[in-house]
Amino acid sequence: MKPIRRIVAALGTAVLGTALAALSITPASAAPAQAADPVPNFDYSNCPKLPSGADRSDWSCFVAVVTSGEFKVGKFDQQLTSPITITFAQGFDADGNTSTIFGKLQASKMLVRPGIFGDPILTAVYAKPVYVGGFAIDNYNIDMKLKINLTNPFLGGSCTIGSDSSPIDLHLITGTTNPPAPNGPISGSPPQVVSLDPYVLKLTNVDNSFAVGHATGCLLNFGLVNAIVDSQAGVPAAAGKNTMIYNEYASYKSYLNLP
C-alpha cells in the first residue's frame, strides 16, 4: 500500500463565511482565537466518487471545518457565525502522482444585515459563500474561487458579489502574507495535531491580497440595484483592501473505511 500524503491542511475551506456582509464600516479585527473553538464533528457523506479503477487503499477523504474567522471585503467586515465545511479526496492517480478531487463546500447563509425594521424576512440580508472552482492544495495552502450569494426578497436569489466568470480568487496560506497597500502582512498558523484518534489537525489560513469585483444578478440583474449593492459593499475593491482569515480543523479517513 502506498503511503497517503497527509496534507490535511489545505482545507481551507473555504469558504467561505465569506460574508461580505457586515453593512457597517468597522476596522479589521483579529479572528477569534481558535483555541476557544471546540473540535467539530466530521461528516464524510460528501466524499467525492473516485476515478474508475482507482485503488481505494491509495485514497483518503479529507474534511475541513472552518469554525471561526473573518471575511473583510470593501466596507464589509464580517465575523464568521456558522461553520464552513470543505470535503475533498486525495490519493494517487494511475501514474503514481498525487491527485486531488474536490467534493463539496457546505455553508449556511448568515445574517449580515438585520433589516431596516428588525424583521428577519423582508429587509434582512443574508450571505452565503458559493464554490466556483479552482480548488488546489499545496503544503497546507489552499487555492479556491468563490462568489458570495446575497439574498432577500428584494434582491432575489441570484445577487452575488463575484461571479462564475469573475470570482473572488483566494490563495489562503498558513504563512505570512505580502499584500499590496494599504493592507499589511498577516500570518496564519501551520497545522498542529490536536487528536490522534481520530487524527485531527487545527490550523489557520489567511489571505489579504485578493481583489473583489462588482455585484451582479441583483433584482434580475437590474443595473441600478447592482450599483446600489456596489455602493453599500464598497466594491469593486482592489487587492490590498480585503482580508480572509479561516480558523479550521481537519481530519481524514481512508476510502477503505468509507461505505
Per-residue pLDDT reduced to its tens digit, 78-98: 888 899 999 999 999 888 889
Q: How many CA atoms are closer than 13 Å to the CA of 171, on its beta-carbon side?
A: 10
* pLDDT at residue 77, rounded to an integer: 82
* pLDDT at residue 66, rounded to an integer: 97
| CA distance linking residue 15 with residue 35, whole number of Å | 20
Residue 197's CB: how many other CB atoms inside 10 A? 5
Angle 112-113-115 (CA atoms, 0-180°, nearest 5)?
150
Is the dihedral angle over the CA atoms 181, 184, 185, 186 positive or is it negative? Answer: negative
Q: Are 101 and 88 in contact (CB under 8 A)?
A: yes
Using a 10 angstrom Cβ sphere, with 0-12 exposed, 13-18 middle and 19 or more buried, the burial of residue 222 is middle
| CA distance linking residue 14 with residue 66, whole number of Å | 7
Per-residue pLDDT reduced to its tens digit, 175-219: 999 999 999 999 999 999 999 999 999 999 999 999 999 999 998
* pLDDT at residue 74, rounded to an integer: 84
| CA distance linking residue 154 with residue 102, whole number of Å | 33
| Residue ranges of the chain whose pLDDT lies below 70 | 1-36, 113, 115-122
